[in-house]
Amino acid sequence: MSRSNDRYWATSGFEIEPVYGPDDRKDWDADEQLGVPGEYPYTRGPYPNMYRGRKWTMRQYAGFGSATQTNERFRGLLAAGQTGLSVAFDLPTQMGLDSDAPLSRGEVGKVGVAIDTLDDMRLLFDRIPLGEVSTSMTINSTAAVLLLMYQLVAEEQGIPGSDLRGTVQNDILKEYIARGTYIYPVQPSMRLVTDLFAYCAAEVPKWNTISISGYHIREAGSTAAQEIAFTISNGLAYVDAAQSAGLDIDDFAPRLSFFWNAHNHLFEEVAKFRAARRIWARLMKERGGATQPASWRMRFHTQTAGSTLTAQQPHINVVRTAYQAMAATLGGTQSLHTNSFDEALGLPTDESAKLALRTQQILGFESGVGDTVDPLAGSYYVESLTDEVEAAALQLIADVDELGGAVAAIEAGFQSRQIEDAAYRHARSTDAGETTVVGVNRFVEEGISPPDILTIDPELERAQSASLAEIRSSRDGDAVASALRDVENAARNGDNVLYPMREALRAMATLGEVSVTLENVFGKYGH
């Protein structure tokens, strides 16, 4: 939100009035617009009882260094009351590179855990009962590889794929828009997404096959309305691709999930979540042709806004995060990650990660935020904001449609330009003091000592490389080569690549080897 000459604007571009009343919203009493929780169009929440029946999943995002180090963090968070796991992978893993690849140098284990082989995945989930926890993995280009490794480790624990619960992000389109961890061109990348849909429908039916992500779009500088519009447009592209591949919408749509950002403006964020549910429900029913309520229902994970964290006075980030988390819960999220206060400086320490979890627990068990469903419903202000955000998002969705849909718009650079313009406007507003950032352009303090930060031992990279060398020398090389040829043949012939990929990983093929095999068929984006 910015302010100028005593006028206030939401991030989505519309002016916020000083007072709201019943005349500020169209169709105030229309049941179809507002409805009840758990019923179409789900404005008030995807489930009738929401947090009265079950709290949101407190799923702290963690991953750094080696699989063993991250496993220790996971077990510590679970012991502290975390109710779900969320895995951060390092950049080489996200980009389909083994830790000993030249391009991996200096990045191994830095922003997430390094996973090269099935052995790493075994260490990552050592002594964690995969049949009892749900696990979210923030992974896109190599989502199929990490999902299959997870399934193989679970099978070694005696847990069939039919019992596994969790999510892979698997949202490649937003990588071309906002984040950049893509490998292959757009069309073959979409093929991998739909292959994973089909595989999970048959083999891992409780798994959420995609987490369509607005989070990174917002982190890149979008407005709230842009976050909804471009994310939902991507969602429609995945639905179209799956239907074109012969999948029935009511077979795969119930396993689609979303991932939103919880940003600073509490009321606009609540309105954003409510509007997003309503838009998705209508589009799935009226445009997608879905007939089952589970296909209309938007379920989502939320993470507080990393881009709002400041290196200046870092402890006040605890307060920012708490209010952002409140917006997510008032808006009806199904799971939540709260950022640690020190993340503008480095990876979270054990202490800061636990404090972030305690923030959620206070919200969930002390604040009363979940005692009633959709507590802000009927607020003149919130309902008006919900309508405004919805209208702005629908106009952008129409703009994307006019360009031929999300894929064509991405190739034309439309979404990236829109986001860059919004980020520029926000930066100018901050520089001019119209938008306040406490500790940065107002209420500044000098001489504050930074907190201790977590660092990654450079020895990790050497250890990962040595482990890879040992695995390559001890495995059955002929079996690996044969399995990788099967992956290549499936990719060339249009078969589902996940089945031969699973056998290649079981034979101890590395993540990088699988990625190069696919690259030989699909090519590389930008080349």
Using one digit for the tens of pLDDT, what is the confidence trace for 456-499?
888 999 999 999 999 999 999 999 999 999 999 999 999 999 99
H or E stretch covering 60: strand 57-62
User: Using an 8 Å Cβ cutoff, are 114 and 67 in contact?
Assistant: yes
Residue for token pair 């640690």: 340
- Tell me the HSE value of 40 on the side-chain side, using a 13 A CA sphere: 14
H or E stretch covering 55: none
Backbone phi, then psi, for 136, in 5-degree steps?
A: -105, 135
pLDDT in tens, 260-282: 999 999 999 999 999 999 999 99
Report the amino acid identity of residue 396. L
**Alpha carbons 208 and 170: distance in angstroms, whole number:** 10
User: Using an 8 Å Cβ cutoff, are 357 and 82 in contact?
Assistant: yes
Closest by alpha carbon to 392, among 422, 420, 416? 422
Q: Would you give the end-to-end CA distance of the chain in angstroms?
A: 40
Beta bridge partners of 100: none
CATH architecture of 2-21+34-431: Alpha-Beta Barrel (3.20)
pLDDT in tens, 419-453: 999 999 999 999 999 999 999 999 999 888 888 87
Backbone phi, then psi, for 208, in 5-degree steps?
A: -80, 115
Determine the average pLDDT of the residues in 37-55: 96
SS3 content of the chain, % helix, strand, coil (to 5): 50, 10, 35
Q: Is 342 helix (H, G, I), strand (E, B) or coil?
A: coil
**Alpha carbons 135 and 150: distance in angstroms, whole number:** 9
Cis ω for the linkage preceding 92 (within 30 of 0): no
pLDDT for the residue 503: 98
Confidence of residue 32 (pLDDT cuts 50, 70, 90): low
Long-range contacts of residues 24-27, Cβ cutoff 8 Å, at least 24 apart: 24/380, 24/384, 25/380, 25/383, 25/384, 25/387, 26/387
pLDDT for the residue 26: 57
pLDDT for the residue 452: 82
User: Given a cut of 50, is residue 29 above it in pLDDT?
Assistant: no
**Which pTM value belongs to this model?**
0.92
Determine the average pLDDT of the residues in 211-234: 97
**Residue 363: Cβ-neighbour burial (10 angstroms; 0-12, 13-18, 19+):** buried
Residue 222 Cα distances to 11, 136, 214, 511, angstroms: 9, 24, 9, 33
pLDDT for the residue 323: 98
**Alpha carbons 144 and 501: distance in angstroms, whole number:** 8
Closest by alpha carbon to 218, among 112, 280, 343, 306? 306
User: Given a cut of 50, is residue 83 above it in pLDDT?
Assistant: yes
- Tell me the HSE value of 485 on the side-chain side, using a 13 A CA sphere: 6
**Alpha carbons 4 and 102: distance in angstroms, whole number:** 50
- What does pLDDT average to over the chain? 94
Determine the average pLDDT of the residues in 44-56: 95
Sequence-distant (≥ 6) Cβ neighbours of residue 414 within 8 angstroms: 399, 400, 403
**Alpha carbons 169 and 209: distance in angstroms, whole number:** 7
Confidence of residue 2 (pLDDT cuts 50, 70, 90): low
**Alpha carbons 409 and 233: distance in angstroms, whole number:** 10
Report the amino acid identity of residue 287. R
Percent of the chain at pLDDT exceeding 90: 89
pLDDT in tens, 337-371: 999 999 999 889 999 999 999 999 999 999 999 99
Percent of the chain at pLDDT exceeding 70: 97
CA-based torsion, 169, 327, 178, 105: positive or negative: negative
Taking residue 113's Cβ as centre, other Cβ atoms within 10 Å add up to 27
pLDDT for the residue 235: 97
Determine the average pLDDT of the residues in 372-397: 96
Determine the average pLDDT of the residues in 294-307: 97
- Given strand 7-9, what is the order of strands in its sheet? 2-4, 7-9, 15-16
Tokens of 157: 């624990």
**Alpha carbons 37 and 279: distance in angstroms, whole number:** 15
Q: Is 415 helix (H, G, I), strand (E, B) or coil?
A: helix
Q: Is 354 helix (H, G, I), strand (E, B) or coil?
A: helix
Residue 157 Cα distances to 130, 143, 397, angstroms: 8, 21, 45
H or E stretch covering 166: strand 165-168
Residue for token pair 């404090």: 355
Confidence of residue 80 (pLDDT cuts 50, 70, 90): very high
